[in-house]
Amino acid sequence: MSLREEWKKLAVFIGGFIAIYSMPIGTERFDSAILEAFYLAGWYAREHVLFCLIPAFFIAGAIAVFISQASVMKYLGTGANKVLAYGVASVSGSVLAVCSCTILPLFAGIYKMGAGLGPASAFLYSGPAVNVLAIVLTAAVLGPELGLARAVGAVVFSIIIGLLMAFFFRKEEHERTSMNAVMPQEQGGRPLWQTTLYFASMVGILVFANWGRSTGGVSELIYQNKWVLTSLFAAALAVIMVRWLRVKIRYMVVSAAAVAALAFMFRGNPAVPFTAGIVLLISILAKGTDESRDWLEQTWGFTLQIVPLLFAGVLVSGFLLGRPGEAGLIPSGWIEASVGGNSLAANFFASFVGAFMYFATLTEVPILQGLLGSGMGKGPALALLLAGPALSLPSMLVIYGILGARKTSVYVALVIVMATLSGWMFGFMAG
Domain ranges of the chain: 34-183+192-247+288-430
Residue 200 or residue 40, greater confidence: 200
Instruction: Give the pLDDT confidence score for residue 342 in this predicted structure.
Output: 79
Long-range CB contacts (within 8 A, 24+) of 103-112: 103/127, 103/128, 104/395, 104/398, 104/399, 104/402, 106/69, 106/72, 107/402, 108/398, 108/402, 109/69, 109/73, 110/69, 110/72, 110/73, 110/76, 110/77, 111/402, 111/403, 112/402
Residue 28: pLDDT over 80? no
Instruction: Give the pLDDT confidence score for residue 96 in this predicted structure.
Output: 57
pLDDT digit string, tens, across residues 151-200: 888 888 889 999 999 899 888 877 766 654 454 455 546 787 888 899 88
Q: What is the DSSP string of 275-330?
A: HHHHHHHHHHHHHS-HHHHHHHHHHHHHHHHHHHHHHHHHHHHHHHH-STTS--SS
Write the CB contacts of 107 (distance below 8 Å, at least 6 apart in sequence): 120, 123, 124, 127, 402
Are 92 and 386 spatial neighbours (Cβ–Cβ below 8 Å)? no
pLDDT band at 233 (very low <50, low <70, confident <90, very high): very high
Q: By percentage, how much of the chain surpasses pLDDT 90?
A: 19
- Provide the 10 A C-beta neighbour count for residue 408: 18
pTM of the model: 0.68
Residue 150: pLDDT over 80? yes
pLDDT band at 335 (very low <50, low <70, confident <90, very high): low
Residue 49: pLDDT over 90? no
pLDDT digit string, tens, across residues 286-302: 988 888 999 999 889 87
Instruction: Give the pLDDT confidence score for residue 239 in this predicted structure.
Output: 93
Residue 371: pLDDT over 80? no
Instruction: Give the pLDDT confidence score for residue 95 in this predicted structure.
Output: 57
pLDDT digit string, tens, across residues 261-290: 999 999 889 999 999 999 999 999 998 888
364 closest CA partner among 315, 313, 309? 313
Instruction: Give the pLDDT confidence score for residue 180 in this predicted structure.
Output: 46
By CB atoms closer than 10 A (0-12, 13-18, 19+), residue 391 is buried
Are 76 and 89 spatial neighbours (Cβ–Cβ below 8 Å)? yes
The dihedral built from the CA positions of residue 76, 79, 84 and 85, taken in this order, carries a sign that is positive
Residue 141: pLDDT over 80? no
Residue 246: pLDDT over 90? no
pLDDT band at 324 (very low <50, low <70, confident <90, very high): low
Average pLDDT, the chain: 80
Instruction: Give the pLDDT confidence score for residue 181 in this predicted structure.
Output: 47
